[in-house]
Structure formats: structure tokens, C-alpha cells
Structure 1
């Protein structure tokens, strides 16, 4: 997918998020992100993409930023974008951000690997990233694949959907270990609120009986830096060296007595 195609896909996502299925998905992701971000501490947090959801609403960090590829004025149920950027070239200093949230950014990027590399670069050691994605191994994903063989499209147009195992592999290659993962939105690919409501029981049943088949997933990972270790305080070294002075003093006294 070229850059123009990517822009069209993001526009398609914006429209899809206003449909009953999009509202249903946003409600689940908002609840999930609120639970995850409330317990992450630090100073600087950035949400990249998808202003239709407030991924940092529950975060207690003092500096929170919403960034996207294009400026958007504040509208009803949507916040204004604070910073415009290219997903593949983040304008932040290396090791300066405590938390980055990517809600459905990688599916619509022309180079998702580079986006993740940039996220790894700007995160501090032990910094965290949270990623939301569509699950190809789901009823929604199956419907999305069928569009290529003549079926109708349900999800907005993307180059490809990234499975959770594949996403975890990408993160692992960048020394970012997944710590939590969740699936949600188990209802079939229904376009109307009426039918989504009828299948509401599947959210409880799905999380119990077929937990990996939710329409969307959320992955949380921590940036690990190899070779890092805590250094003890300087006084501990002085304490350790003190006993070696005693024998020297005793030896001097023995020479004087002799």
C-alpha cells in the first residue's frame, strides 16, 4: 500500500469508528486502556493516532500528548490533536517517553516495523508501549479476508491484519517483552446496533470458552535494556574498605613496641 492508499485507509477507519461496530469496539478498548494505563507511572505519555478514543484518560502522568498524522480541530466526542507527525519519524528525543499508546496505527502504516523501531527509540528503559489491533483469527478477521474473494468488507481497508503472536514476535526482536494481552469484541460482524445487542452475551461467553477469537486485541510490553544493573551507593564501598585499615594499624603498633 502506498502513502496515498494509507491515507485513504485511515479516512475509512475514521468513518468506520462512527458505525455501531466501531462504537462497540471503542467502548471495549476505552475500558481496557483505562485499566492498563491507570497503573503505569512516569512523566511523559503519548497517544499516537485515533483521536476518537482517549487512550490516556485514566493515566496519572503529568504530561500527556495526542499526536496524529494530520491536525484535527476539537469536535464532539473527539479531542484536538496537539502534534502532527510522521508515524515513522517521531519528533522526540531518544529515551524521553515513559508510555506510548498505538491504537490501530500499525495496520494502517506503510512500514509498521519502522514505527515500532521509533517507539523503541523514544521509550526510556523500562518504558511501556500499548498496542491495539484487529485480530485476524476472529469472525471479524475472517469477514475481512473474504472481501478479497468477492465478499463484502466489514473492517476498514488495510494492507494486512497483524496477529497477536506475530506482534509479540516483532516486539521481542526489539527487546520489548509483552507483559499483558487481552482480547475483546466477540460478537459477529454485525453492522446494526440491534444485532450487536442481540449477540452481547457472546462477550461473556467468548472470554471464557474461546478467549483468543475476539475481534480486537490489546498488547502491553516493556522495553528491556540488556546489561543494565543497579549500582549501590558510594558509602557501601567505604564500609567494605574500613576493615582492611585495622591490620595495618596493628602492625605499626607491633613495630613500635618491638
Structure 2
């Protein structure tokens, strides 16, 4: 499913502003993650795994020029075969985000990692989306998911979720000049209202609880000693 207006938005000052923050945070997280197979789900216009050292890195999407073209709700990978999955805005612009997360949980190995970025509804960007004169193109037509809701979903699937990081505290201006004027909000937001960034990055690890085998007790109970019966003199053998 292609996202209308995404390509144009990525080339706009607003899109470059958001993607610069997300790319820097993703690069910092994935640089030291190792394994054999990593996937980028969605946003094929950007190489989000460029700084990762995993040898087999593939871009997966339901449209565009990608390594694997498929429905994100039915990923063509074996269970427990992927070490790392990165999803940038793959959930809030899809009509079935729950199923995508279930598929990601299925294909990740135990202790595999999931990186998610999304627009924060509890921010000036989320407020802009709710205003009556909000345009209907990207990124305003998505169903923004809060970090709290996303954490609940992931924990139900057995993920251990780390604390999210937020960025892009400037208002969603469309011109480069105004974005530069509001740049002071970045340091202020990180210090005073960290939860109100326009976008967030969430990192989760798939945990698989070990099974505890209940073994039978191998200690043998001692059988009671047999009582020695007295032998009468009549039954005793004659001594020679």
C-alpha cells in the first residue's frame, strides 16, 4: 500500500527535518547490533540500516522498488529467523497495525530487536492533526499511536520495551526559515517536556521465558529392613 504524498513530503523542509532526527537516532541504535539477517519494513525511500553491520539487510514493503515485495501482514520469512527489524512509520499509516506487530514477533529470534518510529499524538504535531483546517495529505491522515499504547501492545506480545526517545519539538512548520527560528525548542524540549516531541523512537527486545522442566524425584525410598526370625533349636541343623 503506497502512502499518498510521502515522496513529496520527504523532499520538503518538514520531511527533511523529521528524517534527519530519525536517521541519526536509528544509526546510533543499530550500529552495535549484530546477527545474520535484518529487515527494514516500509519507507523504502530511506536506507535506515545503512550503518548496521548485519551482513544480510533487506528492505521490505508492499510497494516500490524493494528487496522483498509483500503484504506486511503476511511476511514471507520463517519463524525465529530475523535478528533485527526496523519500522519507520509503518504502523500509523496501515489499517491493521496489530497484525504487522504479530508477524514481526513471529519472525524475530528470541532476544531479537525491534526499532519503531512514529508521530507522537501528544505533541504539537498531534494537535495540528486534530485542527479543523488540517490538510488531508501526508503526514496528517495517519492514525497516530501513542508510546503508551504501543508499549501495551508490545508487552502483550512478550516484548521488553525500553524507554522511548522523543525529538522534533519545533512546530510543524512548512518553511525552512521558520523551522530554523524554532530550533531552540530542541534543547528546551529534551530538558523540560521530553514526552511532547513530534516523533519518537521505541526500542523493544523479544523475550522468551525459559521452560522449567519438572522432573520426577529420582531418590529411591529405602525399603524397610526385613526382620530376622529366630530359629528354634529343633530346626537348627545338627553339628557334627
| Same fold per superposition (TM over 0.5) | yes
Q: Distance in 2 between matches of 1:87 and 1:12?
A: 20
Aligned alpha-carbon RMSD (Å): 1.6
> By how many angstroms is 1:28 displaced?
0.4
Q: TM-score, normalised by structure 1?
A: 0.78
Match of 2:122 among 128, 137, 142: 137
Residue 45 of structure 1 deviates from its aligned partner by: 0.3
Equivalent residue, structure 2, for 1:245: none
TM-score normalized with structure 2 length? 0.84
Tell me which structure has the larger Cα radius of gyration: 2
Question: Compared with structure 1, are the counterparts of its residues 23 and 31 closer, same or farther at alpha carbon in structure 2 (3 Å cutoff)?
Answer: same
Aligned to 1:37: 30
- Structure 1 residues 174-207: Cα deviation after superposition (integer angstroms, max 9, x where no partner): 0011124210001011000010011111111111
Shift of 1:156: 2.1
* Pick aligned residue for 2:68 from 83, 92, 110: 83
The alpha-carbon deviation at position 158 of structure 1 amounts to 3.1
User: Which 5+ residue runs of structure 2 have no aligned equivalent?
Assistant: 213-240
1:210 corresponds to? 193
Partner of 1:24: 17
Consecutive aligned runs of 4 or more in structure 1 exceeding 3 Å deviation: 150-155
Contiguous gaps of at least 5 residues in structure 1: 1-5, 73-80, 230-258
Q: Aligned pairs, how many?
A: 212
The answer to whether the aligner puts 1:194 opposite 2:177 as a matched pair is yes
Aligned to 1:220: 203
The answer for the alignment partner of 1:97 in structure 2 is 82
**Between structures 1 and 2, the one with greater helix share:** 1
